[in-house]
Amino acid sequence: MAHIPFKIFLLLISVFCIGSDAAGQQKYLFIEPNISFSYDSTKLKVETRYSNTVYKTESYDFILSSDTINRVRIHVMANNPLEKPISVEELAKFMEEKLAMLEDARDSAVTVLEYDKKVRNVEGFLCTGVLLQDKKTGARYTSITCNHNSDADLTEIRLTSNNHKTLREDYELLALFLKGFATYTPEKIAKEEALIKARYKVKVTPTTAPNGGLKWPKSDFYAIVSTKQPLKHVVKSVNLYMGYAIIMFPPNERGEVYIDCSGTKKGVNRLKAELVLLNSFGKMVAIPFVVEFNTRSAE
């Protein structure tokens, strides 16, 4: 087998590269499109959120709250489920084939100190890890990649850290984190979505330009978006489709959303829009509606 540089291996090992307080220390975070984590907020905190508006998926970075030395980071990436999930046996075999590449990995900058000879099953996730050492500085780096796929999810988790002496320390932390993992079936998601869409009708009330906080200093149309029925769900945003762009407007404390827009033609303009609410477990539900207004002229 030809020698494989370790930097290339780190790319190959990734298979799927395609809240509120509940009980004091416990926090709950739903991650689009269909997974969640319950975690100890005294030990972990969310550092960064990434969002893909096209596929409606999210990724999050968790870090240790008090960690300034080991720089432990857990990156969670949620994707839409595969039409036909990969079997555990097939996925494990695929990951072990990638592990075998480490036997021939060579890099002038790093030494492989430890790596998994077999795929580990950690709380239902298939995981592989490697511990490296910088030949020049002696610094150590850990990378553990875990995959979970089912009818309800396609999840990849990457834990990275510095300075740990063995993989064991990182796997112990990872196991505690993965205990809080949950998925939501398409049936449960569809049931909640249907109930919310049946409950609410969107109301668009024209208004004058408020002071600040809107997208453009001068627009053709200003309005307040709300619901005709009393709100029992949290408003996430109003998404306005402007050509190839999606403009997002946040709610105020009453759940109302101020929007503003301009027409692209003289006369009646109609823009597609969505009122986005959160269901009982935090998943976004989009209620479509149309914003209709007149403009006297357009550039």
Write out the DSSP string of 118-175: S-EEETTEEEEEEEEEETTT--EEEEEEEEEE-SS-EEEEEEEEES-SSHHHHHHHHH
The answer on 164 and 45 residing in a single domain is yes
Looking at residue 238, which CATH number applies to its domain?
Answer: 2.60.40.1940
- pLDDT tens, residue by residue, 206-251: 998 765 555 555 788 999 999 999 999 999 999 999 888 889 999 9
Residue 177 phi, psi dihedral angles, 5° rounding: -65, -45
The answer on 110 and 53 residing in a single domain is yes
Residue 283 pLDDT: 96
Residue 198 · residue 182 · CB < 8 Å: no
Judged against a pLDDT cut of 60, whether residue 26 lies above it is answered with yes
User: Per-residue confidence at 8, pLDDT binned at 50, 70, 90?
Assistant: very low
The answer on 40 and 157 residing in a single domain is yes
Residue 171 neighbours by CB distance under 10 Å: 19
- Cα separation, 125 vs 242, in Å, equals 41
The answer on 30 and 157 residing in a single domain is yes
Q: Between 104 and 5, name the one with better pLDDT.
A: 104
Handedness of CA 52, 56, 59, 65 (dihedral sign): positive
End residue of a domain, out of 130, 159, 184: 184
The answer on 230 and 202 residing in a single domain is yes
The answer on 112 and 18 residing in a single domain is yes
End residue of a domain, out of 184, 211, 244: 184
Mean pLDDT of the chain: 87
The answer on 158 and 42 residing in a single domain is yes
Looking at residue 145, which CATH number applies to its domain?
Answer: 3.40.1000
- Cα separation, 141 vs 130, in Å, equals 8
The answer on 41 and 121 residing in a single domain is yes
The answer on 168 and 55 residing in a single domain is yes
Q: Between 287 and 245, name the one with better pLDDT.
A: 287
User: Per-residue confidence at 23, pLDDT binned at 50, 70, 90?
Assistant: very low
Number of domains in the chain: 2
End residue of a domain, out of 135, 154, 184: 184
The answer on 268 and 208 residing in a single domain is yes
- pLDDT tens, residue by residue, 37-94: 999 999 999 999 999 878 889 999 999 988 878 899 999 999 999 999 999 999 999 9
The answer on 209 and 92 residing in a single domain is no
Q: Which two tokens stand for residue 248?
A: 């997002």
Owning domain of residue 251: 189-295
The answer on 226 and 175 residing in a single domain is no
- Cα separation, 242 vs 228, in Å, equals 25
Strand 202-206 versus strand 221-227 pairing type: antiparallel
Residue 12 pLDDT: 40
